[in-house]
C-alpha cells in the first residue's frame, strides 16, 4: 500500500501552479448545471421554464401540488445533494493530504464506521420517526472522532511516528470492529431495524429542509477550517521536517485537519447515510485533471463533489422512475468506470510527455 502511495501521489512541488480561474469557472458551471438539471427534471414532468419562473418568484402556471414538488421536494434535495457531495469530497481530499495516502478516505480510517455506530445508537434510542434525529450529527461526530483517534493510537502504538501503512492497517481493524458493533446494536433492536437499514441505504430520497438545516452549520465549519489549511497541507506533503523549517507545526496542523474532516464526514453521513466513493473519486479526478496542489484540489473538490452527487441523485430518482434506486448504487455504478477512464487517459498523457 505504501508503494501505491509513492507511485500514484508524488509530493507536489511547493511551487505547483495555483488554482487557474478557468477551472474555478468550470466548477461553478458544473454546480449550476447540476442544480438546474436537478430542479427541472424528475419523475414528474414539469415545464422547465415554469419551474425556473416559479423559483425566481416570477409567478408560474404550476398548481399547488407542482409547487410543493418543486419547492418542498426537489429544491431541498438538490441543496442537500450539493452539500453532502461537496463535504464528502472535501473531507476525502483532506484525509488523503494529511495521511499522504491516495487511498485514505473516511471509510478506510474508520470514521464512517464510527459515525454509523453513533447514528445507529441514536436511532435505536430515540426512534422518533420520519426525520433524522437532531442528535444524529453530534453522535456521528463523536463516533467518527473516536474511531480516528483509535486508529491513530493503534497505528502509533508500535512507538514513534505513525507510518502510513500501519495507520491504514489500524484503520481497517478499527472499521471492521466498529462495523461489527454497529451490526450487533442493530440486530439486538429488531423494532428499529428497518429505520437503521433505510438510513444506511441513504436518506436523500426523503430528505427536506430539516436535514439541510441540520447539516449546514457543521458543513460551514468544516469548509472554513479545511480551506484555511490548503497551503499547510501542501507544506506537509513535502515532509514533517521540511514543514518545521518553514514554520509549520506539523503535528498540530494534522490534528486540526483530521478533526475538521471527521466532523464534516460525520455530519454528512448522519443526514445522508453511507454514500461511498465520492470522497475518493472526486478528489482524484480533480488531481489528475487540474493539478496536485491542495490550493487546487480542495476548492475544486467542493464544486465538483457537489455537482457529482447532485447528478447522481438525479439519476437515482429518474432512471427507473417513478421508483427510486439507492444513491450509493448510482455513485458506485457510474463513478467507478468514470474514474478508471480518467486514470487511463491521464496515464497515457503522462507517458507521451
Partner 1 sequence: MKRPLAAALVAAATLLAACGDDDVTTSATTTTAAPDAPDRIVSMSPTSTEMLFAIGAGDQVVAVDDYSNYPEEAPITDLSAYEPNVEAITTYEPDLVVLSDGGGELAASLEQIGIEVLALPAATTLDDAYEQIAQLGDVTGHGEEADEVIADMRADLAELVAEVPERATPLTYFHELDNTLYSVTSETFIGEVYALAGLENVADPADADGQSGGYPQLSAEFLVEADPDLVFLADTKCCQQTSETFGARPGFEVLQAVTEGNVVLLDDDIASRWGPRVVDLLRAIVDAVKAVPVS
Residues that bind partner 1 (CB under 8 A): 42-44, 64-66, 68-69, 71-74, 76, 127-130, 187, 190-192, 194-195, 198, 201, 203, 205-210, 317, 320-324
295 in Cβ contact with 19 (< 8 Å)? yes
H or E element in which residue 168 lies = helix 164-188
293: nearest Cα among 229, 351, 243: 229
The DSSP output letter for 160 is S
Nearest distance from C-beta of residue 187 to partner 1, angstroms: 7
- Backbone dihedral region of 46: left (phi > 0), alpha (psi from -120 to 50 degrees) or beta? beta
Q: For partner 1, give the closer residue by CB, 201 or 342.
A: 201
- HEC assignment per residue over 70-127: HHHHHHHHHHHHHHHHHHHHHHHHHHHHHHCCCCCCCCCCCHHHHHHHHHHHHHHHHC
Q: For partner 1, give the closer residue by CB, 69 or 148.
A: 69
Cα separation, 257 vs 260, in Å, equals 5
199: nearest Cα among 255, 96, 128, 285: 128
- Distance in angstroms between the alpha carbons of the first and the last residue of the chain: 27
Nearest distance from C-beta of residue 274 to partner 1, angstroms: 15
Q: For partner 1, give the closer residue by CB, 128 or 153.
A: 128
274: nearest Cα among 154, 152, 143: 143
Nearest distance from C-beta of residue 157 to partner 1, angstroms: 30
Q: For partner 1, give the closer residue by CB, 12 or 81.
A: 81
Angle, CA of 202, 203 and 206, to the nearest 5°: 150
Q: For partner 1, give the closer residue by CB, 207 or 307.
A: 207
Nearest distance from C-beta of residue 77 to partner 1, angstroms: 8
Nearest distance from C-beta of residue 182 to partner 1, angstroms: 16
272: nearest Cα among 143, 133, 80: 80
For residue 224 the three cell numbers come to 472554513
Angle, CA of 344, 17 and 339, to the nearest 5°: 20
Nearest distance from C-beta of residue 104 to partner 1, angstroms: 31
Nearest distance from C-beta of residue 292 to partner 1, angstroms: 40
Q: For partner 1, give the closer residue by CB, 34 or 204.
A: 204
Nearest distance from C-beta of residue 321 to partner 1, angstroms: 7
Q: For partner 1, give the closer residue by CB, 76 or 299.
A: 76
Q: For partner 1, give the closer residue by CB, 156 or 192.
A: 192
The residue to which cell 503535528 is assigned = 251
Nearest distance from C-beta of residue 318 to partner 1, angstroms: 9
Q: For partner 1, give the closer residue by CB, 75 or 174.
A: 75
State the Cα torsion 170-171-175-178 to the nearest 10°: 60
Amino acid at each position: 500500500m505504501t508503494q501505491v502511495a509513492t507511485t500514484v501521489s508524488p509530493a507536489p512541488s511547493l511551487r505547483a501552479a495555483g488554482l487557474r480561474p478557468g477551472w474555478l469557472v468550470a466548477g461553478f458551471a458544473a454546480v449550476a448545471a447540476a442544480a438546474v438539471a436537478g430542479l427541472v427534471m424528475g419523475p414528474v414532468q414539469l415545464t422547465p421554464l415554469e419551474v425556473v419562473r416559479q423559483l425566481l418568484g416570477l409567478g408560474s402556471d404550476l398548481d399547488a401540488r407542482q409547487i410543493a414538488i418543486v419547492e418542498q421536494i426537489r429544491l431541498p434535495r438538490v441543496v442537500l445533494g450539493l452539500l453532502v457531495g461537496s463535504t464528502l469530497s472535501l473531507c476525502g481530499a483532506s484525509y488523503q493530504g494529511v495521511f499522504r495516502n491516495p487511498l485514505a478516505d473516511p471509510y478506510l480510517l474508520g470514521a464512517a464506521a464510527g459515525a454509523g455506530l453513533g447514528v445507529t445508537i441514536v436511532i435505536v434510542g430515540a426512534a422518533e420517526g420520519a426525520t433524522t434525529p437532531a442528535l444524529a450529527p453530534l453522535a456521528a461526530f463523536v463516533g467518527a472522532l473516536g474511531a480516528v483517534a483509535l486508529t491513530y493510537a493503534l497505528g502509533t502504538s508500535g512507538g514513534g511516528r505513525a507510518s502510513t501503512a500501519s495507520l491504514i492497517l489500524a484503520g481497517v481493524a478499527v472499521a471492521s470492529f466498529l462495523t461489527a458493533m454497529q451490526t450487533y446494536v442493530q440486530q439486538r433492536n429488531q423494532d428499529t431495524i428497518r429505520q437503521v437499514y433505510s438510513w444506511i441505504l441513504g436518506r436523500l430520497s426523503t430528505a427536506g429542509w430539516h436535514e439541510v438545516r441540520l447539516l449546514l452549520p457543521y458543513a460551514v465549519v468544516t469548509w472554513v477550517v479545511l480551506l484555511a489549511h490548503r497551503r499547510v497541507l501542501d507544506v506537509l506533503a513535502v515532509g514533517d521536517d521540511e514543514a518545521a523549517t518553514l514554520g509549520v507545526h506539523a503535528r498540530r496542523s494534522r490534528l486540526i485537519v483530521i478533526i475538521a474532516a471527521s466532523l464534516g464526514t460525520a455530519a454528512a453521513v448522519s443526514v445522508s447515510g453511507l454514500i461511498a466513493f465520492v470522497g475518493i473519486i472526486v478528489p482524484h479526478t480533480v488531481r489528475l485533471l487540474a493539478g496536485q496542489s491542495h490550493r487546487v484540489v480542495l476548492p475544486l473538490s467542493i464544486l465538483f463533489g457537489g455537482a457529482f452527487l447532485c447528478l447522481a441523485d438525479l439519476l437515482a430518482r429518474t432512471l427507473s422512475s417513478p421508483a427510486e434506486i439507492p444513491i450509493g448504487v448510482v455513485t458506485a455504478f457510474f463513478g467507478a468506470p468514470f474514474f478508471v477512464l480518467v486514470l487511463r487517459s491521464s496515464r497515457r498523457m503522462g507517458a507521451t510527455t
